[in-house]
Amino acid sequence: MSVLRKIDIAGKVYELYKNKAIMSLKRIKNNWHPVKGEPLSELDKKVLYHQNKGYLVPKRKLIKTPEQIEGIRKSGLINTGVLDLIAENIHVGMSTAEIDKLVYDYTVAHGAIPAPLNYEGFPKSVCTSINDVVCHGIPSEDEILKEGDIVNVDVSTIFDGYFSDASRMFMIGEVKPELKKLVEVTKECLEIGVKKAKPWGFLGDIGSAIQSHAEKNGFSVVRDLCGHGVGLEFHEEPDVEHFGKKGKGMLLVPGMVFTIEPMINMGDYDVFVDEEDGWTVLTDDGLPSAQWEYTLAITETGVEILTY
Ligand code: MF3
Ligand code: CO
C-alpha cells in the first residue's frame, strides 16, 4: 500500500492511498490534544505544528516525565548489570538453563523482577536464541552452547515498576567468519539506528537506515517483529520497525522511550513460530539470525541509552 499524498479537508488531514488500483482516503488520527484549561506549552506548540502538517505524532501518554525516565534509568542499570554478568560467564558447554539461573539470581538479588518470567505465560526469566532462532528462545537444561554457536541473550527487568529491555549477541569459541559478519553488521545496524534517534526526526529515519545497512551487506531485516515503547509496561506503543522510509512514521518527541532491536537474517526475512512451545521464533530457511537491542530515551538534544 502506498501513500500518494496528504489531503486537508476542513482542517482534518487524510492520506490518499493507492491499493491495488483502488484509491482510498484514510484519516490520520489526531493523537495530540491540548490539555483543557491550560495554555499551550512549547512542546504542545511544536507537536501540534507537526500534527497540523499531517504527520503522525505520539499520544501524550507516551511522553515520560523526568521522574519516570529516572525510574527506567535505574531499572536499566540493573538490566545492563545482568548482561555484563552473562558476558563474563557465558562459555562453551553451558546450558541455556544456567544462563537463566544467572539472570534470575542477579535480578532478584538487586531487588528487581525478570520481566519475561510469566509474561503471557513465558516460563523463564530470559530469552536465549541460538543460530537460526530469531528470538524468544526458551532456556533449557537440554540446550548446551557449543563451539561456533551465536546466541542472543535478551534481558528485561522490572525495578520499582519500571521496565527496561536490552539484548546482546555472544559468539561461542571460534565462529565462522560469515556468522561473525552477521553479528557485527547487526550491531552496526543498531548503532546506525540509534544515530537517527533524535527529537523531531521520525521512526522511519531509524528503520530506513537499519534496512539499508543490512541489505547493503546482503542480509535481510525481519518484518514480523519490531522494537516497542517501554518503561511503564513491557510493550507499549509505538511499534519500532527496522525497515521503512526516511521522513515517514511517527514523529520522535523528547520524553519518548522505546527499544531498537533489529533482527537481521543471513537469508530471507521470513520467520515462523514453533508450534510446540508457542514462543520460539525461527527463520523459515534455517539460516542464522542475529539481534542486538537497547532501550533509549529521546531527549531535548538527542538520545540517552538507558540499557545496553
Ligand atoms: N525481550 C523481548 C523484547 O525485546 C520480549 C520477550 S517476551 C518474552 O521485546 F516473554 F518472551 F520474554
Ligand atoms: Co524489546
State the sign of the Cα–Cα–Cα–Cα dihedral 46, 48, 52, 55: positive
Q: What is the CATH number of the domain that holds 258?
A: 3.90.230.10
Residue 147 lies inside a defined structural domain of this protein:
yes
Q: Which tens digits make up the pLDDT trace of 160-215?
A: 999 999 999 999 999 999 999 999 999 999 999 999 999 999 999 999 999 999 99
Is residue 182 lining ligand 1, measured as CB closer than 6 Å?
no
Residues 105 and 211 in one domain: yes
> 11 lies in which domain range?
2-52
In this prediction, residue 96 carries a pLDDT of 99
Residues 207 and 155 in one domain: yes
User: What CA–CA distances, in Å, run from 308 to 65, 88, 155, 182, 190?
Assistant: 21, 15, 10, 19, 11
Residue 278 lies inside a defined structural domain of this protein:
yes
Residue 57 lies inside a defined structural domain of this protein:
no
Ligand nearest to the CA of 118: 1
Residues 157 and 38 in one domain: no
Residues 183 and 240 in one domain: yes
Residues 9 and 44 in one domain: yes
Does the pLDDT at position 11 exceed 60? no
- Pick from 107, 113, 135 the residue to mutate for probing ligand 1's pocket: most ligand atoms within 8 Å of its CB: 135
Residues 46 and 68 in one domain: no
Residues 178 and 37 in one domain: no
Residues 28 and 132 in one domain: no
Bigger pLDDT: 26 vs 156: 156
Sheet containing 236-240: order of strands: 236-240, 227-229, 257-260, 294-298, 303-307
Does the pLDDT at position 8 exceed 80? no
The span from the CA of 28 to the CA of 243, in Å, is 21
Residues 15 and 119 in one domain: no
Does the pLDDT at position 284 exceed 90? yes
Query: Total structural domains in the chain?
Result: 2
Residues 161 and 94 in one domain: yes
Residue 112 lies inside a defined structural domain of this protein:
yes
In this prediction, residue 3 carries a pLDDT of 55
* Average predicted confidence (pLDDT) for the chain: 95
In this prediction, residue 1 carries a pLDDT of 43
Residues 104 and 39 in one domain: no
Does the pLDDT at position 12 exceed 90? no
| CA 104–ligand 1 middle distance (angstroms) | 15
State the sign of the Cα–Cα–Cα–Cα dihedral 287, 292, 293, 299: negative
Does the pLDDT at position 80 exceed 70? yes
| CA 237–ligand 2 middle distance (angstroms) | 12
In this prediction, residue 24 carries a pLDDT of 78
In this prediction, residue 59 carries a pLDDT of 98
Is residue 193 lining ligand 1, measured as CB closer than 6 Å?
no
Does the pLDDT at position 156 exceed 60? yes
The pLDDT-based confidence of 68 (bands split at 50, 70, 90) is: very high
Residues 39 and 133 in one domain: no
- 9-18, 99-108, 241-250, range with the lowest pLDDT: 9-18
In this prediction, residue 28 carries a pLDDT of 72
Does the pLDDT at position 53 exceed 50? yes
Interval 231-245 mean pLDDT: 98
Give the pTM: 0.93
Residue 213 lies inside a defined structural domain of this protein:
yes
Is residue 168 lining ligand 1, measured as CB closer than 6 Å?
no
In this prediction, residue 2 carries a pLDDT of 54
In this prediction, residue 6 carries a pLDDT of 66
Interval 89-110 mean pLDDT: 98
Residue 58 lies inside a defined structural domain of this protein:
no
- Of 221, 201, 202, which Cα lies nearest the Cα of 211? 221
